[in-house]
Amino acid sequence: MLTSRNKPPAEVGSRLHLLSLPYDVRYIIYSHLFPSLGQLYLMASRESIHPMMRPGSLSMEIFLTCRQLHLEASGYLFNNYLFNIIGYKKYCMAHYRPINLLVERYAKNGSSIEILDNGLLSSTACVSIHAKGGRVEAVLQVRQRGVTRNLEEVEREAAELPDITDARPENLVRRWGGKIIAFVEFVLDGMCSTAVAVAVSSVILVWIAFWITRLYK
């Protein structure tokens, strides 16, 4: 009688492979690889965008395993998360397109873009990107985020804004903004519903945007 001790290595390995599990089980595993609040914050700088989260909260290794797991994990991530790009309006508008292309590539029903700011005189913005339909859109309807701006109009405004020569405020917000978001995730994880957690995180986002404006003046 063969046991796990005397089976050939290839046979033992095939039983332990992630792909040998049913897809529904793998789906549950994917839900534990990414942050629990259902949204990701990205700080826009002149050169690129930077995740604002505690280290290790986004498991990138799954995307480097094989093609099938890469596709499945990407499908889970881009169909179930709200991506918030925040910071100086000019840089938000310069870097939102790659994220939107990824969401469009993996989302089942295409992507949706919402732009929030404090009006024409505001130098900061939040570009929110998510898959149409599904859990994210339901959470947004509950949250009632407010009036969104026209994409082309905001792009014209951003094009007229100057580059920021002093990057110190930007680095400060990137450093402490990430710590604040990580703290909120840690405190709220498992303590309340997703809608409440997202709403509280949005208040923190507004606070960060306010101080960005103060620092840039």
Q: Are strands 39-44 and 82-88 parallel, antiparallel or unpaired?
A: parallel
Q: Are 156 and 80 in contact (CB under 8 A)?
A: no
Q: Which of 93, 99, 120 is nearest to 41 (CA)?
A: 99
Q: What percent of the chain has pLDDT over 70?
A: 61
Among 5-9, 62-66, 115-119, 197-201, the range scoring the smallest mean pLDDT is: 5-9
Average pLDDT value for residue range 179-199: 56
> Mean pLDDT for the chain?
75
Determine the pLDDT at residue 4. Answer: 46
Kindly tell me if the per-residue pLDDT of 100 is higher than 90.
yes
Instruction: Find all residues with CB under 8 Å of 73, minimum gap 6, and list them.
Output: 30, 33, 62, 63
Among 58-72, 83-97, 106-120, 140-154, the range scoring the smallest mean pLDDT is: 140-154
Average pLDDT value for residue range 156-160: 87
- State the pLDDT confidence band at 50, using cuts at 50, 70 and 90: confident
Kindly tell me if the per-residue pLDDT of 31 is higher than 60.
yes
Kindly tell me if the per-residue pLDDT of 192 is higher than 60.
no
Q: Are strands 111-116 and 82-88 parallel, antiparallel or unpaired?
A: unpaired
pTM of the model: 0.67
Kindly tell me if the per-residue pLDDT of 149 is higher than 60.
yes
Average pLDDT value for residue range 182-206: 58
Helices in the chain by DSSP H: which ranges? 9-16, 23-31, 67-80, 89-106, 134-143, 151-160, 168-188, 194-216
Neighbours of 99 (CB within 10 A): 20
